[in-house]
Structure 1
């Protein structure tokens, strides 16, 4: 007997993709918050590097003190593009610190190696150097009650190839979550702890003394940016351990889905470094990923971080 076909749907067998995961297809790529007035920049040229995140700033010498007007335009560019790139600045550590202090007090991090000052973190990689925060998407120091507002990173020595850094727009990541997922996480809180991010390369004897200094903290799963009001996804693989009040298996499944959002190429910008280049990013709205693909070749960077506010 020959089967009858009543319509196109009869030709398809029942099938579906998993509910939790990343799917192909177009995405909403909105760079600015709703109602934000876009205005031209008058004190420098800006060259976008991706659709929603990342812009190169041209015509600014960061070794010179910022005027109030220039600081205001750079701040607006940071809010609109989330990470700013400045080529060939070659700042001394104190000049780098002075630039960052235009946005607030500088923080120290006793868990990382320092440079010439205690608020300058130095990453000296290659050869026998121990691995640290590379090859993992993360937002800096979310294990603090007041995670960093942002950071200013300068590459002092660059390998002949590799060693790029990527940033992901976590406002775009939130915008593109399914409505059912957003309904689950709006208002939810998650626990952040420094230990998961550091026990990959430090032993218990190194970490144990810091447990009282950095106890676990709770932050919103979705935070509102204090300057733009925009919702951003605020969990990351390095430090977020579980969602408060949720069954552990359910929390793990949901966090895996949320962690994956940083991996979407449409939300990302990738920067190829040259010696003396500066990146200044908004830590409240981004995650970043340092690519360790340069083997034994040397890569030296120095970073200063700006103290932030308590997420809400």
Structure 2
């Protein structure tokens, strides 16, 4: 009788963020490592599975091993059915591709929600010849390394977030119709420092951050930009250069991310699934 062995090799991608796990499909899909994967994701923010080459169906199955599959409006299957979501600038594949242009700037997914998604899982199906890497930063580590005096100063602050603010990064002169459409999504007031139920704290920043409550416009903007600069220093960041078949999962509650520029006609295609949120901003 043949003996089946599984591969499970774990190494750090960078000092304060990211883990690389070399394994096989059977090990991932069995769910036997799900608890360990979740623990590594919370501790390290990002996990890379190099050239694991999961199919759409396998990625959906893997997502289910880790938690509750997220069915977000406008992203995927109908009537609550599981589906992967195409992340591409090709409008023949994704009719709302222009909305994704905000992804080229540092952000956290779900700042317009009370309870953001726990994690995203993304697989590379087609690559651009140049560019298209994904940057991640660890917002837990960035908070931890702040001077204690600054932690005390920012811990009680709240920030108004708005989707339209992020859209202005890529389209700074929209028509009034476009602006009103974006603004119809409303705004959401969140803590600048997320006090997680685990006891850990992370910074809540990114392109949707509009205004620190209680501060003037200039003072607010300076604080948000200064903290973003702090959180995206090299020691807190990992840049993933994609290979075909790579799958990356990241903790949306403790990282920011952004895509790097590439030719939008290159055919670059990522397939994404998400885990439903388990903890509200607090």
Question: TM range, normalised to the smaller chain?
Answer: 0.7 to 0.9
Q: 1:218 to 1:279 in 2, by over 3 A?
A: same
Residue 122 of structure 2 aligns to a residue whose secondary structure is strand
Structure 2 residue 100 is the aligned partner of structure 1 residue 100:
no
Q: Where in structure 2 are the equivalents of 1:225-244 lying within 5 Å? A: 225-226=196-197, 228-236=198-206, 238-244=207-213
Counterpart contact for 2:19–2:48, Cα < 8 Å: yes
Q: 1:63 to 1:175 in 2, by over 3 A?
A: closer
The farther-off stretch of 123-132 and 144-153 is 123-132
Residue 125 of structure 1 aligns to a residue whose secondary structure is coil
Q: Distance in 2 between matches of 1:174 and 1:138?
A: 16
Q: 1:45 to 1:305 in 2, by over 3 A?
A: same
Shift of 1:119: 5.4
Residue 196 of structure 1 aligns to a residue whose secondary structure is helix
TM-score relative to the length of structure 1: 0.75
Q: 1:244 to 1:62 in 2, by over 3 A?
A: farther
Counterpart contact for 1:106–1:119, Cα < 8 Å: no
Q: Distance in 2 between matches of 1:175 and 1:65?
A: 34
Q: Where in structure 2 are the equivalents of 1:155-174 lying within 5 Å? A: 155-174=124-143
Instruction: Please report the RMSD computed on the Cα atoms of aligned residues, expressed in angstroms.
Output: 2.9
Q: Distance in 2 between matches of 1:167 and 1:53?
A: 8
Partner of 1:7: none
Shift of 1:162: 2.4
Partner deviation per Cα, 1:228-266 (whole Å, 9 max, x = no partner): 421111111x11111123222221221121121233011
Q: Distance in 1 between matches of 2:260 and 2:249?
A: 18
Partner deviation per Cα, 1:82-118 (whole Å, 9 max, x = no partner): 10011222223232222223222314143x7x58978
Q: Structure 1: any 5+ residue segments left out of the alignment?
A: 1-41
Shift of 1:127: 11
Q: Where in structure 2 are the equivalents of 1:192-211 lying within 5 Å? A: 192-199=161-168, 200-201=170-171, 205=177, 208=180
Q: Distance in 1 between matches of 2:205 and 2:156?
A: 13
The structure with the largest alpha-carbon Rg is 1
Q: Structure 2: any 5+ residue segments left out of the alignment?
A: 1-5
Partner deviation per Cα, 1:66-96 (whole Å, 9 max, x = no partner): 33x4111111111221100112222232322
Partner of 2:18: 54
Shift of 1:294: 4.6
Counterpart contact for 2:163–2:182, Cα < 8 Å: no
Shift of 1:64: 5.7
Counterpart contact for 2:89–2:264, Cα < 8 Å: no
Partner of 1:218: 189
Q: 1:64 to 1:74 in 2, by over 3 A?
A: closer
Q: Where in structure 2 are the equivalents of 1:289-308 lying within 5 Å? A: 289-294=258-263, 296-308=265-277
Q: By percentage of residues, which structure has more helix? A: 2
Residue 59 of structure 2 aligns to a residue whose secondary structure is helix
Q: Distance in 2 between matches of 1:253 and 1:133?
A: 21
Q: Distance in 2 between matches of 1:64 and 1:169?
A: 24
Partner deviation per Cα, 1:109-136 (whole Å, 9 max, x = no partner): 43x7x58978533222379975613431
TM-score relative to the length of structure 2: 0.82
Partner of 1:310: 280
Partner of 1:125: 89
Q: Where in structure 2 are the equivalents of 1:64-143 lying within 5 Å? A: 65-67=29-31, 69-101=32-64, 102-110=66-74, 120-125=84-89, 130=98, 132-143=101-112
Shift of 1:149: 0.9
